[in-house]
Amino acid sequence: MKIPAQTADIFELLSKGQFICSNSVEDTQRKLFNIIEENFEELANYFLAIGFVLERGDEFFYFSRKEARADLERKIEQAYRWIDVLDFFKAYNSGFGPGYRFTPSDILVQVKIDANLKDKLEQLKKPLGDGNHRERVQRLIDELEKFGFAELENEITQQYKVLSAFKYIEQLIVSIHITEEVQHEVS
């Protein structure tokens, strides 16, 4: 089995819970995406041997692995959190998704004129902590960046770009099905 020379770089990013996206602002990430795309089977087998499952999303790659029950519960709580974050950004702009560009200022202007968006930001106050709207919006954006769902595209204008990995959150939430019996149990 021949593995690419960049395997260590791929492992370094993915093992930290990051995504490698086809539409990354960074040229190196786009190159790594292409290397994975061309060598997917070899890399998948290589990483599987060391306990990591290389997963393919829609224009992104990530690692997964079998989880202990406690880890699974923690991940479910994190998914609840991402539902609220996604709801906030979709309320800001329904087109918010891969390829979308935005600035914190754009969001703040919308928060000031849209009471629904302002309420959603207030509901996120507990996980985001105290602070004014600007600080909380920046913390949300920092989380998007930290988890590899957005990148700063232009430092001068503070413009961000939503990456393909954002589809991961969207697909996660769309895949949640609540049966009719459960709907009646939830208050």
**Average pLDDT of the residues in 92-114:** 96
Q: Is residue 186 part of a domain?
A: no
Same domain, 141 and 95: yes
* 15-30 residues labelled b (16+ CB within 10 A) or e (exposed): eeebbbbbbbeeeebe
Among residues 16, 35, 64, the one where a domain terminates is 64
Q: What is the CB neighbour count within 10 angstroms for residue 6? A: 16
> How confident is the model at residue 70, as a pLDDT?
60
**Residue 78 in this model has a pLDDT that exceeds 80:** no
Q: Is residue 102 part of a domain?
A: yes
Same domain, 43 and 56: yes
Higher pLDDT, 144 or 78: 144
Same domain, 145 and 164: yes
**Residue 74 in this model has a pLDDT that exceeds 90:** no
Q: Is residue 132 part of a domain?
A: yes
> How confident is the model at residue 182, as a pLDDT?
46
Which string of DSSP letters, residue by residue, matches 14-77?
HTTT--EETT-SSHHHHHHHHHHHHTHHHHHHHHHHTT-EEEE-SSEEEEE----HHHHHHHHH
Same domain, 137 and 114: yes
Same domain, 36 and 108: no
Among residues 40, 64, 88, the one where a domain terminates is 64
CATH of the domain at 78: 1.10.10
In the predicted model, what is the mean pLDDT of the chain? Answer: 87
For 84, residues 6+ apart whose C-beta sits below 8 A from its C-beta are: 120, 123, 124, 127
Q: Percentage of the chain surpassing pLDDT 70?
A: 89
Among residues 23, 46, 64, the one where a domain terminates is 64
Same domain, 42 and 56: yes
Domain with 135 in it: 69-174
Q: Is residue 165 part of a domain?
A: yes
Interval 107-121: pLDDT, tens: 999 999 999 999 999
Same domain, 34 and 93: no
> How confident is the model at residue 181, as a pLDDT?
53
> How confident is the model at residue 186, as a pLDDT?
47
> How confident is the model at residue 100, as a pLDDT?
97
> How confident is the model at residue 126, as a pLDDT?
76
* 73-83 residues labelled b (16+ CB within 10 A) or e (exposed): eeeeeeeeebe
Same domain, 38 and 129: no
Grouping H, G, I as helix, E, B as strand and the rest as coil, residue 100 is coil
Q: Is residue 179 part of a domain?
A: no
The Cα diameter of the chain in Å comes to 58
Same domain, 91 and 128: yes
Interval 47-58: pLDDT, tens: 999 889 999 999
Same domain, 58 and 82: no
**Residue 187 in this model has a pLDDT that exceeds 50:** no
> How confident is the model at residue 67, as a pLDDT?
61
**Average pLDDT of the residues in 153-158:** 96
CA distance 104 to 136: 10
